[in-house]
Amino acid sequence: MSNVTVCVRFRPLSHKERKANGDNVCFRKLDSESFVFKDEREEDVIFSFDKVFYEDAQQSDVYDFLAVPIVSDAINGINGTIITYGQTGAGKTYSMEGPSILHCNEQKTGLVQRVVDELFVCLRSSAGTWTVKLSMVEIYLEKVRDLLDLSKDNLQIKESKTQGIYISGATEISIANSSDALENLSQGIANRAVGETQMNLASSRSHCLYIFSVQHGSTSDERVKAGKIILVDLAGSEKVEKTGAEGRVLDEAKTINKSLSALGNVINALTTGKQNHVPFRDSKLTRILQDALGGNSRAALLCCCSPSPSNAPESLSTLRFGTRTKLIKASPKSIPEVVDNAKKPILGTHDQDDLRDRILSKLRLSLKEEDVDLLEELFLQEGIIFDPNSITDIDSACQDTRSEEILLLMQAVEDLEGTVEELTDENQKLRRELEVAQEISAQAQLAAATAGAAARSRTLLDFVPAPLLRPFGLHTWLRIQPLVSSLPRQPKLLFLSPAPNPPVSFLSITAMATATTSASTYCCNTLLHLPRPTHFRRITPPTHRLELSFATRRAAAVARFGPRARASSGPPPPPVFETVVEEEEERGWSDAEAEFSDEVEDEQEWAGGNGAARGKDLGADAGEDLSGWTRQWPRPRELFVCNLPRRCDVEDLLELFGPHGTVLSVEVSRDAETGISRGTAFVTMCSLAEARTAISALDGFDLDGREIFVKLASDVISNRKNVNLTHITPTKDHIFESPHKIYVGNLAWSVQPQDLRELFTQCGTVVSTRLLTDRKGGRNRVYGFLSFSSAEELEAALKLDKTVFFGRDIVVKEAHVERPSP
Ligand SMILES: Nc1ncnc2c1ncn2[C@@H]1O[C@H](COP(=O)(O)OP(=O)(O)OP(=O)(O)O)[C@@H](O)[C@H]1O
């Protein structure tokens, strides 16, 4: 059987609740001890208690059931405690005090007044002597304040062998009758901290304790019985968002909720077999209630609930608290009967403290020191006076100080947690702002770069005519540019560089792209479907750059795609491309390095001085050092081909060698005067392996009735210029011309090719300029050939016939383009 009597009281619906939900209530009555309540999952739960007081229950019903046994026990020296618990506005104070302690009719009188009345009735009807003393304290913001003397605003809770837990220094007023008591009670109640919340206009903001100390001397055995009745009106638990608490009210609510949860923890510890470690010292409230809950006192709990469905969650929590409290099992002990009333004075707690020194010093005046010491020892043993050196008290004081410090530290930790939370929020906000700013800045940079790129790409398109680009595959790049640009979150071609001057044999287009990983992958896949990509590879993570080269016919193109460099230091993204780099063969790193320098020189040459060295140039634009990538290119190999039919042209050779690898260049040797093929050619394959494949397939191949001869150029012509180099620049014999070709004659001796180009640029894009010179003397042979990118341009050029140029009337005629007959 529990030593705590637990009852539930549902107050009547308030006007406000009735307005919101009509007459609906959140429970269904079963009998006077149990009812059905819907839990948060809308499931019916049956709650049973020692007694349930429904809305129509009277104050006297509550008193009779709860308080009568406690009052009679107190007179017999057993302490008793009655606690009202519940949500704010649930009727705790009403149950304790009634509508008003002083002015209310008999029917509505609360527990406090009824206890006082009953006490005096019982004591008067008994034969012995008695005294009743009243103390009133409140626990407000974790401080014990004396409601009968407001100057005592931080009383200490102590423990002694004789008294158990007591509030040291609390004012005790002797009361002789009920009206005396009511007067003092009303003064104390007036001093109580009360505030207005949305839930209750006069909400108690503190836990209030009414303490009645009763000493009753029996006539039969001349012993005195001391008992205490403590009535505790707890402050209401509240959801701060529901009560609209802020500022000081919020602080109050937090402290109230904290001490109530400490009370919950104590109840849990007492009911889950953890009695050895009950956290009574976690709050002032639990420390004061230690005797009541811990088994040294009779206790009763009145769980006050609102019947309204709108307060059902809070009521449910109160009911669960009550259920748990019912599980506490312990039997209250009677306080030892200590003093013979006839011989010994009845001394109150604080009197003992105050009188101790006075008595002893008085005795010292008339008695010997040893006798006084003996008497003091006797007084201590009998519990008449308080021993300042008592280990229990010192220990208790220490523990109190410790728990106070712990509370302060917990408060500080809570404050710090709040600050950390605020700072974390602030930090996240700033991070988001930074991200937005970075995004904006990156977009601005991208826009600027795109604008620059557009200008450069126009330059290239203007400069290199489409018919010229087509054989080299470059038109494909230009064609995919809009495609790439339209990708979702897409790469954008930022620039095309360098812009080569014709004639060209090696064209390099470098495209910088911004891309997400998926866009880069998409790009990569797209590019792989282009004609004959030769290799691609990923450059340094985490930029997602893609470097892709492909060569069709005699040109190679390099594209590099990737998003803008990531500023953030996040983890590198997973590689998105397989590295497909042809292995370097038969050479060491130093060879490759030397080769790279040669290549740079050659490219500077063909770029007409306008473009910087490729690696350097790209690196500058891309914002990183890219020189490394060039080194990993496979080393091209030159083949010597002879015994070719005269009409065999570059395109025929490309068709012939293309199936065996990537043809980087083809040069057909022609007579400089007549332009007729000499039947020999040089074909550069992308790698040694490809060159060997071509040799095994084509050496001895029958081409139009002639058995052609294919060997490595280095094996056949040991002194051939650049035979071992990797460059794929044109030699002087190789001429790129478009079909729109003119003959220009009657030129002055001093005319140079660039003068001719300048003159004819006004007609359109000059694809090629060739000025014939005397092989021996190196002199200008006063005629040459130019080709244009379209027939219209050719027509425009023909109109310059007879134009005076360098003091001579030049002759301009359409030139016959020699094509091999099919
Ligand atoms: N049994 C009841 N019969 C009639 N009115 C009641 C009853 N119980 C409570 N009330 C009324 O409900 C209102 C709130 O009650 P009370 O002040 O007692 O709540 P409380 O639980 O003490 O709240 P708080 O914790 O905020 O102090 C008061 O106006 C009170 O008169």
57 CA: nearest ligand 1 atom:
1
* pLDDT tens per residue across span 153-166: 889 888 776 777 88
What are the DSSP calls for 177-207, one per residue? SHHHHHHHHHHHHHTS-EE--SS-TTEE-SE
Question: According to the model, what pLDDT value does residue 240 have?
Answer: 61
pLDDT of 380 higher than 70: no
Pairing of β 164-168 and β 156-160: antiparallel
Half-sphere exposure at residue 605, Cβ-oriented, CA atoms within 13 angstroms: 14
Which residue did the predictor score with more confidence, 30 or 571?
30
Which residue did the predictor score with more confidence, 2 or 317?
317
Confidence band, pLDDT 50/70/90 cuts, at residue 58: very high
Confidence band, pLDDT 50/70/90 cuts, at residue 684: confident
Mean per-residue pLDDT, 631-638? 57
Three-state secondary structure readout of 424-465: HHHHHHHHHHHHHHHHHHHHHHHHHHHHHHHHHHHHHHHHCC
Confidence band, pLDDT 50/70/90 cuts, at residue 817: low
| Three-state secondary-structure class, residue 91 | coil
Question: According to the model, what pLDDT value does residue 275 have?
Answer: 62
Mean per-residue pLDDT, 778-784? 76
- For residue 98, report the distance from its CA to the centre of ligand 1, in Å: 9
* pLDDT tens per residue across span 206-223: 889 999 988 887 666 666
Mean per-residue pLDDT, 768-791? 76
Give the DSSP H or E segment for 392. Answer: helix 391-463
Mean per-residue pLDDT, 256-276? 78
Which residue did the predictor score with more confidence, 63 or 279?
63
Other CB atoms within 10 Å distance of the CB of residue 620: 13
Q: Please tell me the residue having the least CA distance from ligand 1 atom 23.
A: 89
- For residue 93, report the distance from its CA to the centre of ligand 1, in Å: 6
Angle between helices 517-528 and 474-485 (to 10 degrees): 150
Using an 8 Å Cβ cutoff, are 211 and 139 in contact? no
Confidence band, pLDDT 50/70/90 cuts, at residue 7: very high
Closest CA relative to residue 805, chosen from 774, 777, 784: 784
Q: Cα–Cα distance between 293 and 267 in angstroms, integer?
A: 8
pLDDT of 396 higher than 60: no
Mean per-residue pLDDT, 90-102? 87
Mean per-residue pLDDT, 250-266? 82
pLDDT of 678 higher than 90: no
Q: Please tell me the residue having the least CA distance from ligand 1 atom 16.
A: 91
Mean per-residue pLDDT, 15-31? 88
Using an 8 Å Cβ cutoff, are 493 and 559 in contact? no
Mean per-residue pLDDT, 733-760? 78
pLDDT of 328 higher than 60: yes
- For residue 732, report the distance from its CA to the centre of ligand 1, in Å: 109
Q: State the amino acid at position 767 in one-letter form.
A: V
Output the ligand 1 site: residues, CB below 6 A: 11-12, 14, 86, 88-94, 99, 200, 202-204, 235-236, 304
Mean per-residue pLDDT, 662-683? 76
Question: According to the model, what pLDDT value does residue 211 have?
Answer: 92
Q: Cα–Cα distance between 656 and 496 in angstroms, integer?
A: 31
When mean pLDDT is compared across 137-151, 429-443, 597-611, the lowest value belongs to: 597-611
Phi, psi angles (nearest 5°) of residue 686: -65, -30
**Can you tell me the ipTM of this complex?**
0.98
Sequence-ordered list of residues with C-beta below 8 angstroms from that of 197, at least 6 positions apart, any chain: 88, 203, 238, 243, 244, 245, 249
- For residue 431, report the distance from its CA to the centre of ligand 1, in Å: 50
Other CB atoms within 10 Å distance of the CB of residue 133: 17
Other CB atoms within 10 Å distance of the CB of residue 755: 16
197 CA: nearest ligand 1 atom:
26
First to last CA, the chain: 116
Mean per-residue pLDDT, 99-120? 86
- For residue 86, report the distance from its CA to the centre of ligand 1, in Å: 10
What are the DSSP calls for 217-257, one per residue? E-TTT-EEEEEEEEEEEPPPB--HHHHT--HHHHHHHHHHH
Confidence band, pLDDT 50/70/90 cuts, at residue 521: very low
pLDDT of 374 higher than 50: yes
Q: Cα–Cα distance between 169 and 188 in angstroms, integer?
A: 16
Which residue did the predictor score with more confidence, 462 or 697?
697
234 CA: nearest ligand 1 atom:
25
Question: According to the model, what pLDDT value does residue 326 have?
Answer: 85
Q: Which two tokens stand for residue 260?
A: 């109530």
9 CA: nearest ligand 1 atom:
1
pLDDT of 118 higher than 80: yes
Which residue did the predictor score with more confidence, 450 or 231?
231
Which residue did the predictor score with more confidence, 328 or 180?
180
Q: Please tell me the residue having the least CA distance from ligand 1 atom 2.
A: 11
Confidence band, pLDDT 50/70/90 cuts, at residue 813: very high
Question: According to the model, what pLDDT value does residue 552 have?
Answer: 29
Mean per-residue pLDDT, 482-511? 31
Other CB atoms within 10 Å distance of the CB of residue 130: 20
Alpha-helix runs per DSSP H in 272-390: 284-288, 290-294, 312-326, 349-366, 369-382
Using an 8 Å Cβ cutoff, are 421 and 438 in contact? no
Q: Please tell me the residue having the least CA distance from ligand 1 atom 1.
A: 11
Which residue did the predictor score with more confidence, 561 or 81?
81
When mean pLDDT is compared across 226-240, 624-638, 687-701, the lowest value belongs to: 624-638
- For residue 90, report the distance from its CA to the centre of ligand 1, in Å: 5
Q: Please tell me the residue having the least CA distance from ligand 1 atom 9.
A: 91
706 forms beta bridges with: 703
What are the DSSP calls for 44-85, one per residue? EEEEE-SEEE-TT--HHHHIIIIIHHHHHHHHTT--EEEEEE
- For residue 741, report the distance from its CA to the centre of ligand 1, in Å: 108
Which of 19-33, 255-269, 337-351, 748-762 is most confident?
A: 19-33
CA 671 to chain centre: 75
Which residue did the predictor score with more confidence, 121 or 77?
121
pLDDT of 262 higher than 50: yes
Question: According to the model, what pLDDT value does residue 732 have?
Answer: 35
Confidence band, pLDDT 50/70/90 cuts, at residue 175: very high
**Best substitution site from 58, 101, 200 to test ligand 1's pocket, by max atoms within 8 Å of Cβ?**
200
Q: Which two tokens stand for residue 569?
A: 């230091």
pLDDT of 127 higher than 50: yes
**Best substitution site from 9, 10, 11 to test ligand 1's pocket, by max atoms within 8 Å of Cβ?**
11
Mean per-residue pLDDT, 785-789? 83
Which residues are annotated binding-site positions for ATP? Answer: 86-93
Which of 235-239, 554-558, 583-587 is most confident?
A: 235-239
Query: What's the pTM value of the predicted model, to 2 decimals?
Result: 0.47
Give the DSSP H or E segment for 88. Answer: none
pLDDT of 797 higher than 50: yes
Which residues are annotated binding-site positions? Answer: 86-93
Confidence band, pLDDT 50/70/90 cuts, at residue 538: very low
Q: Please tell me the residue having the least CA distance from ligand 1 atom 12.
A: 91
- For residue 148, report the distance from its CA to the centre of ligand 1, in Å: 24
Which of 105-114, 342-351, 395-404, 556-565 is most confident?
A: 105-114
Q: Please tell me the residue having the least CA distance from ligand 1 atom 20.
A: 89
Q: Please tell me the residue having the least CA distance from ligand 1 atom 26.
A: 203
Q: State the amino acid at position 636 in one-letter form.
A: P
Q: Cα–Cα distance between 83 and 300 in angstroms, integer?
A: 6
Q: Cα–Cα distance between 541 and 528 in angstroms, integer?
A: 21
Question: According to the model, what pLDDT value does residue 107 have?
Answer: 86
What are the DSSP calls for 773-820, one per residue? E-TTT--EEEEEEEEESSHHHHHHHHTTTT-EETTEE-EEEEPPPP--
Three-state secondary structure readout of 649-695: CHHHHHHHHHHHCCEEEEEEEECCCCCCEEEEEEEEECCHHHHHHHH
Give percent above pLDDT 90 in the chain: 17
pLDDT of 484 higher than 70: no
Which of 21-25, 345-349, 736-740, 797-801 is most confident?
A: 797-801
Using an 8 Å Cβ cutoff, are 335 and 78 in contact? yes
- For residue 91, report the distance from its CA to the centre of ligand 1, in Å: 3
- For residue 304, report the distance from its CA to the centre of ligand 1, in Å: 9
Mean per-residue pLDDT, 794-807? 92
CA-to-CA dists, residue 104 to 113, 228, 651, angstroms: 11, 26, 118
Confidence band, pLDDT 50/70/90 cuts, at residue 777: low
Confidence band, pLDDT 50/70/90 cuts, at residue 621: very low
Q: Cα–Cα distance between 290 and 166 in angstroms, integer?
A: 10
**Best substitution site from 7, 93, 303 to test ligand 1's pocket, by max atoms within 8 Å of Cβ?**
93
Question: According to the model, what pLDDT value does residue 605 have?
Answer: 27
